[in-house]
């Protein structure tokens, strides 16, 4: 109150003086008559009428349905084969391995899973391994890595980030690569044999390079020590992850695919978003236009069974798949397009009928107060 009456009094006197003076010498307080200040800026307010809504529905329907059909057909043309080799079923060849295997077992367990391809795979084939019930998206798991170490940072190599705990050091030596993700690297080895009609086995050539993202391979992941190809020396003083059988510099013999830039490793380090996932394992390139990449017939999958999943009730799969311009087999997108398109079309029809039948009445009705 005290403050306000003073101010008011002043105001009154000021304006009073101006008023009684007759001609207002001061600036007029009149607001500017501009489009902005008077809120007359051009504006568009869509008004939905039958004339705009009905065509929109029909157009959406007519566009979406063909796209959906196209996607669906493409997806259906992709050939995919999937085989579960976990060995839960006692009849399965890998049953023994799955039962006995732990992380501590040193002797590799090998099993062979035979399968038959009903169709030949014509174009390039991608070989995946798939895991189920494996929560690579677990929060603590996702965080448990040291990106600077993986990028070849020397100091991080010797003292990895705290995020890696408890897979940071082992025997007082820093782990390289540290963290839970690296520690749980998928280490089954899969080899594929084609059983010729005459009964002999011939190895299907699997290409292990070119399965990782280019940026991962060339930018994100780098071996420490720069161009020093003697990785053994570079990783001197570090320890292998507890679950690994070999240290990181022995992942491959090819120096371009060894250490942190091993592509299997890189693929694994890119964590999956869902507990059931597949990761690219190998490529089977089409060699010859005449022969399909994978003929129909019998095959054997040789598995060096190193990766125990029984503890968390997991499943391991091997997937063979061709791809198209829209990627792997995914009928969902096509179905979604077709569904949306049909719904729009249907609604358009319904609204059209309603409009035809009742539209005229609305025009005559008065606007309710």
Partner 1 sequence: MAPEFGESGAVKSYKLKKRRKKQSKKDSKTRTVHSNLLYSCAKGDENPNRHYAHNNIKTTKYTLLSFLPKNLFEQFHRFANVYFVFIALLNFVPIVNAFQPELALAPVVFILSVTALKDLWEDYRRHRSDKEINHMDCLVYCRNERKYLEKYWKEIQVGDFIRLRCNEIIPADVLLLSSSDPDGLCHIETATLDGETNLKQRQVVRSFSELDCVFDPTQYKAVIECEKPNNDLNRFRGYMIHRSGRRDGLHKENLLLRGCTIRNTEEAVGIVIYAGHETKAMLNNNGPRYKRSKLERQMNVHVFWCVIILVVMCLFAAIGHGLWVRQYGEHRPLFDVPSPEGPALSPALSAVYLFLTMIIIFQVLIPISLYVSIEIVKICQVYFIHQDLDLYDEETDSHLQCRALNITEDLGQMQYIFSDKTGTLTENKMVFRRCTVMGEEYSHDANARRLATYQEADSEEEECTSKAGTLPRRDSVTSHQSVKVMHRSQSTKSHRRTGSRAEAKRASILSKHTAFSSPMEKDITPDPKLFDKVNECASQLYLMRSQGQPMNHLASELSDVIDFFIALTICNTVVVSSPNQPRHKVRVRLELKSPVKTIEDFIRRFTPSRLTGSNSSSSSSLVTNRSTHKTCSSLLSSPSAESTLMGLEEELGPAPRREAGPASPPGGDGELRYEAESPDEAALVYAARAYNCALVGRLPEQVTVELPHLGKLTFELLHTLGFDATRKRMSVVVRHPLTGEIVVYTKGADSAIMDLTRHGSTDENRGKHQRKILNKTQNYLNLYAADGLRTLCIAKRVLSKEEYACWLKSHLEAESAIQSREQLLFESALRLEKNLHLLGATGIEDRLQDGVPETIAALRKAGLQVWVLTGDKQETAINIAYSCKLLDHEEEIITLNAETPEACAVLLDKSIHYIQSKFVNNTLNPAAEDFEVDFTPFQIPSSSSVHRLGLVIDGRTLAYALDKRLEDKFLAVARSCRSVLCCRSTPLQKSMVVKLVRNKLKVMTLAIGKYCIQRYIIIILLINRQVLYIEV
Q: Which of 81, 129, 167, 281 binds partner 1 (CB under 8 A)?
A: 167
For residues 264 and 81, give the distance between their C-alpha atoms in angstroms, rounded to a whole number.
21
Residue 87 CB, nearest approach to partner 1 (Å): 18
Q: Is 205 in the site for partner 1 (CB under 8 A)?
A: no
Q: Which of 58, 95, 115, 135 binds partner 1 (CB under 8 A)?
A: 135
Q: Which of 51, 138, 327, 354 binds partner 1 (CB under 8 A)?
A: 138
Q: Is 136 in the site for partner 1 (CB under 8 A)?
A: yes
Task: Give the number of other Cβ atoms within 10 Å of residue 125's Cβ.
Answer: 24
Token pair listed for 89: 């079923």
Q: Which is nearer to partner 1, 37 or 246 (CB)?
A: 37
For residues 205 and 128, give the distance between their C-alpha atoms in angstroms, rounded to a whole number.
15
Residue 263 CB, nearest approach to partner 1 (Å): 21
Query: Do 294 and 105 meet the contact criterion of CB atoms below 8 Å apart?
Result: no
Residue 18 CB, nearest approach to partner 1 (Å): 7
Q: Is 312 in the site for partner 1 (CB under 8 A)?
A: yes
Which range, of 158-166, 224-232, 245-253, 276-284, touches partner 1 by CB under 8 A? 158-166
Task: Give the number of other Cβ atoms within 10 Å of residue 306's Cβ.
Answer: 20
Residue 315 CB, nearest approach to partner 1 (Å): 13
User: Which positions from 169 through 188 interact with partner 1, judged by CB under 8 A?
Assistant: 180, 183-184
For residues 131 and 185, give the distance between their C-alpha atoms in angstroms, rounded to a whole number.
12
User: Which positions from 23 through 52 interact with partner 1, judged by CB under 8 A?
Assistant: 24, 28-33, 37-39
Query: Do 192 and 203 meet the contact criterion of CB atoms below 8 Å apart?
Result: yes
Q: Which of 95, 141, 194, 229 binds partner 1 (CB under 8 A)?
A: 141
User: Which positions from 233 through 272 interact with partner 1, judged by CB under 8 A?
Assistant: 243
Q: Is 277 in the site for partner 1 (CB under 8 A)?
A: no
Q: Which is nearer to partner 1, 311 or 361 (CB)?
A: 311
Q: Is 274 in the site for partner 1 (CB under 8 A)?
A: no
Q: Is 361 in the site for partner 1 (CB under 8 A)?
A: no
Q: Which of 75, 98, 144, 293 binds partner 1 (CB under 8 A)?
A: 144
Binding mask 340-359 toward partner 1 (x if CB under 8 A, else -) reads: --------------------
For residues 117 and 219, give the distance between their C-alpha atoms in angstroms, rounded to a whole number.
38
Which range, of 105-113, 195-203, 214-222, 307-315, touches partner 1 by CB under 8 A? 307-315
Q: Which of 162, 287, 357, 361 binds partner 1 (CB under 8 A)?
A: 162
Query: Do 317 and 278 meet the contact criterion of CB atoms below 8 Å apart?
Result: yes
- Cβ-based burial of 116 (10 A; exposed 0-12, middle 13-18, buried ≥19): exposed
Q: Which is nearer to partner 1, 36 or 214 (CB)?
A: 36
- State the residues that interact with partner 1 by CB under 8 A: 1-9, 12, 15-16, 18-20, 24, 28-33, 37-39, 134-136, 138-141, 143-144, 162, 165-167, 180, 183-184, 243, 311-312, 314, 369
């Amino acid at each position: 109150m005290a403050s306000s009456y003073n101010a008011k009094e002043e105001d009154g006197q000021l304006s009073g003086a101006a008023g009684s003076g007759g001609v207002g010498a001061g600036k007029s307080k009149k607001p500017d008559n501009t489009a902005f200040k008077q809120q007359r800026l051009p504006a568009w307010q869509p008004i939905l009428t039958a004339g705009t809504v009905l065509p929109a529905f029909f157009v959406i329907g007519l566009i979406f349905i063909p796209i959906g059909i196209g996607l669906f057909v493409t997806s259906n043309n992709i050939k995919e084969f999937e085989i579960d080799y976990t060995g839960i079923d006692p009849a399965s060849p890998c049953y023994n391995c799955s039962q006995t295997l732990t992380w501590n077992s040193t002797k590799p367990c090998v099993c062979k899973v035979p399968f038959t391809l009903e169709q030949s795979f014509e174009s390039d084939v991608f070989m995946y391994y798939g895991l189920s019930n494996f929560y690579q998206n677990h929060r603590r798991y996702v965080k448990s890595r040291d990106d600077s170490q993986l990028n070849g940072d020397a100091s991080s190599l010797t003292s990895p980030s705290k995020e890696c705990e408890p897979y940071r050091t082992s025997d007082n030596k820093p782990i390289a690569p540290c963290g839970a993700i690296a520690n749980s690297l998928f280490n089954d080895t899969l080899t594929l044999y084609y059983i010729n009609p005459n009964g002999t086995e011939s190895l299907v050539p699997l290409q292990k390079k070119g399965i990782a993202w280019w940026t991962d391979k060339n930018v994100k992941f780098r071996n420490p020590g720069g161009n020093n190809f003697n990785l053994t020396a570079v990783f001197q003083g570090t320890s292998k992850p507890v679950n690994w059988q070999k240290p990181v510099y022995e992942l491959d013999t090819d120096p371009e695919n060894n250490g942190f830039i091993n592509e299997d490793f890189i693929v694994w380090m890119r964590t999956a978003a869902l507990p059931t996932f597949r990761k690219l394992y190998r490529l089977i390139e089409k060699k010859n236009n005449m022969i399909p990449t994978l003929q129909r017939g019998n095959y054997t999958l040789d598995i060096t069974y190193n990766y125990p999943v029984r503890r968390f009730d997991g499943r391991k799969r091997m997937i063979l798949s061709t791809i198209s311009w829209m990627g792997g087999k995914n009928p969902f997108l096509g179905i979604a397009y077709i569904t949306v398109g049909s719904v729009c079309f249907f609604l358009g029809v319904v609204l059209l009928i309603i409009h035809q039948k009742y539209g005229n009445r609305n025009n005559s009705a008065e606007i309710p107060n």
